[in-house]
Amino acid sequence: MRRVTTKRELRAALVSSKGERRVLVPTMGALHAGHAELLRRARDLAGKDGCVVASVFLNPVQFDNEADLSTYPRHQEDDAQLCEDCGVDVLFMPTPQEMYYADRSMVVEEKLLSRALCGAKRPGHFAGVCLVVSKLFNMVQPTDAVFGKKDFQQLAILRRMVRDLDYPITLHGVPTVREPSGLAISSRNERLTGEQRVHAPKLYAALKQGAAAYVAGESAANTVEIVTKLIETIPGTRIDYVEMVQSETFEPLEIDAHEEGPLLLAAAVWFGEIRLIDHVEILR
């Protein structure tokens, strides 16, 4: 594995890459089993002759909360080892100064899919995501890129960016990797206290119970109410949102609607100072 920190080094490393497919896996670091699944999928897509490029970059532009940025876990050496273990060919680990000019003035903003869920609650977040991913696409020139479905809205927005800006890249979504308890694996989980880790799996359990109720005939409004009441019983939490939307357009459902899928039942919940997101897809 070749480890680089500058754009010049990255270009030099990619000049010698072989094979028809170059697969990119962008990450913010603090890598875990979920990231390992993305990297293994990338290796499979690239094949033995292709090139897998992983980036580890804690992107300051997508954070709307300075405290969240400052406390985000950082484990660069462990990250590098996991990348090597998973067959990464080139690991790009730039600094913010390497990625962004001090007087940068360009933005890449999606204005439809980002109006709901996390887009509504975190102004500027997805613009920051789109900016850094578009830069990585330009630097790496991948044929494919791999993202986790845990960040369902992010993946949808990036698919729209690829479509609307005519990037010749195929995006691949990998299902959410979960702990045995059902808790979605996330870099932020390591900041949870012991007690919070006991209660955190109840978020996914509430969403599954809500989805089952909807499939059984409950309206969208009643489904959201069921999930909300279940989450409210979890100690030490406060709800950021619980919403039910069309999973392709992210348009909200009518209050008394019972529409056919694909739908998304999603929630963001604060466990103390840690914000966790999760969702359940309803496909029928």
pLDDT at res. 167: 98
pLDDT at res. 19: 84
Helix (H) or strand (E) holding 37: helix 33-46
Among residues 64, 51, 48, the alpha carbon closest in space to that of 141 is found at 51
262 prior amide bond cis, ω within 30: yes
Residues 59 and 164 in one domain: yes
Buried b (16+ CB within 10 A) or exposed e, 111-122: eebbebbbbeeb
pLDDT at res. 67: 85
In a domain, 84, yes or no: yes
| Active site (annotated) includes residue 35 | yes
pLDDT at res. 85: 98
Picking from 139, 174, 209, the residue at the C-terminal end of a domain is 174
Phi-psi map region of 45: left, alpha, beta (phi>0 left; psi -120 to 50 alpha): alpha
Task: Give yes or no for a contact between 210 and 225, defined as CB atoms under 8 angstroms apart.
Answer: no
Profile the chain (284 residues) by mean pLDDT over runs of 10 residues: 98 90 97 98 97 97 90 95 98 98 96 96 96 98 98 98 98 98 96 97 98 95 97 98 96 80 95 97 87
CATH number of domain containing 167: 3.40.50.620
- Domain ranges, residue 165: 2-174
Residues 142 and 83 in one domain: yes
CATH number of domain containing 226: 3.30.1300.10
Tokens at 277, concatenated: 């997101």
- Number of domains the chain contains: 2
Residues 273 and 242 in one domain: yes
pLDDT at res. 245: 96
In a domain, 181, yes or no: no
Residues 18 and 50 in one domain: yes
In the set 35, 125, 172, 199, the catalytic residue is: 35
How much is the pTM?
A: 0.95
